[in-house]
Amino acid sequence: MKILFCGDLVGRAGRDVVLEQLPTLRTEMGLDFVVVNAENAAHGFGLTQKICEELFEAGADAITTGNHVWDQREIIPFIDADPRVLRPLNYTSGTPGRGSSVVKARDGRTVLVVNLMCRLFMELLDDPFVAIDGVLRSHVLGKSVDAVLIDVHGEATSEKVALGHVCDGRASLVVGTHTHIPTADAQVLPGGTAYQTDAGMCGDYDSVIGMQKETAVAKFRAKVVTERLAPARGPASLCGVYVETDDASGLAIRVAPLVLGGRLLPAWPSFLPPREGVPK
């Protein structure tokens, strides 16, 4: 399978770049499955049913979230009803929605999508290591599902790396979100799981992790909240991770970061046909 994961989508700038690029990328890259983390899509805080529907229309197959999932309260009935939209798996029992879901690709193959949240420097949810072990025992890669994609939403790189190794050999891709900065460690782990510590964000990088820099800097300097943080509105980068899997085992064959548009240096998988204007 050919799979694309798009990192945290921040505000209108992030929405626009994903909605613009994704239909073309599905064709150009021959994508079989696309996941988008959209927890910051609604003016930087949470997401709405309308945004989810726009992303599905553009080519997303599943949507993950994180610690901002409940910022727009209207999402609660929708996330409870649509299995393609996930909240973190390790919320306590009884929380609306679901943290994992088996979603069908357009060709009928099955993909287990898991949304996991870390605990270091974040909200103390249930143990993510215990939670992911339970899901991966129930859904075996290459047997009950064709691919397993795990979004690890967390602050600490060490915790994300540890979860990557715990899932190695049992998942197609483990990719981090939340810090909004793409890391340079895309690799296939020894057991065959593709991994990157953070996919980065889809948003304007002339900012403080997607938010207008003047307000964010003033908050750090003065420690006084004078106005609400708002997403930066300049040209956005689409940041994500592309992975190809073996059809028989579901394990990764190769993985590469993807960066298009905006201020960041572009990145395109070297093993794919070149894209005009994007150096290999």
CATH of the domain at 14: 3.60.21.10
* Structure letter (DSSP) for residue 97: S
Would 148 be classed as within a structural domain?
Answer: yes
Read off the pLDDT of each residue in 31-58 and give the average, rounded to a whole number.
98
Sign of CA dihedral 213, 216, 218, 221: negative
The encoded tokens of residue 251 equal 């394990």
**Do residues 71 and 41 lie in contact, with contact meaning Cβ atoms separated by under 8 Å?**
no
Q: Residue 79 is inside which H or E element, if any?
A: helix 75-81
For the segment 250-279, the average pLDDT, to the nearest whole number, is 93
Whether 90 maps to a domain, the answer reads yes
Handedness of CA 125, 126, 128, 131 (dihedral sign): negative
For the segment 115-126, the average pLDDT, to the nearest whole number, is 96
In a domain, 113, yes or no: yes
Q: Which residues are catalytic?
A: 68
Asked if residue 280 has pLDDT above 80, the reply is: no
Residue 135 has pLDDT above 90, yes or no: yes
* Total domains present in the chain: 1
Does 228 map to a domain? no
Estimate the share of the chain in helix, then strand, then coil, as percent rounded to the nearest 5.
25, 30, 50
Give the dihedral sign, CA 202/206/211/217. positive
Q: How confident is the model at residue 276 (pLDDT cuts 50, 70, 90)?
A: confident
What's the confidence (pLDDT) of residue 219? 87
Q: Tell me if 265 is assigned to some domain.
A: no
Average pLDDT over residues 97-114: 98
Residue 271 pLDDT level (bands cut at 50, 70, 90): very high
Q: What is the mean pLDDT of the chain?
A: 96
Statement: residue 64 has pLDDT above 90: yes
> The tokens 């993909």 sit on which residue?
111
Give the integer Cα–Cα distance in Å for 142 and 271.
24
Q: How confident is the model at residue 228 (pLDDT cuts 50, 70, 90)?
A: confident
Task: Give a yes or no: residue 219 inside a domain.
Answer: no
Q: Which domain holds residue 183?
A: 2-204+235-260
Instruction: Answer whether residue 261 shows pLDDT above 80.
Output: yes
Q: Is the pLDDT of residue 139 over 90?
A: yes
Check if the beta carbon of residue 205 is closer than 8 Å to that of residue 181: no
Whether 249 maps to a domain, the answer reads yes
pLDDT at 279 over 90: no
User: 5: closest CA among 99, 113, 84?
Assistant: 113
Confidence (pLDDT) at 115? 98
Domain for residue 247, yes or no? yes
Exposure class string for 219-253: b at 16+ Cβ within 10 A, else e = beeeeeeeeebebbeeebbbbbbbbbbeeeebbbb
Q: Is the pLDDT of residue 41 over 80?
A: yes
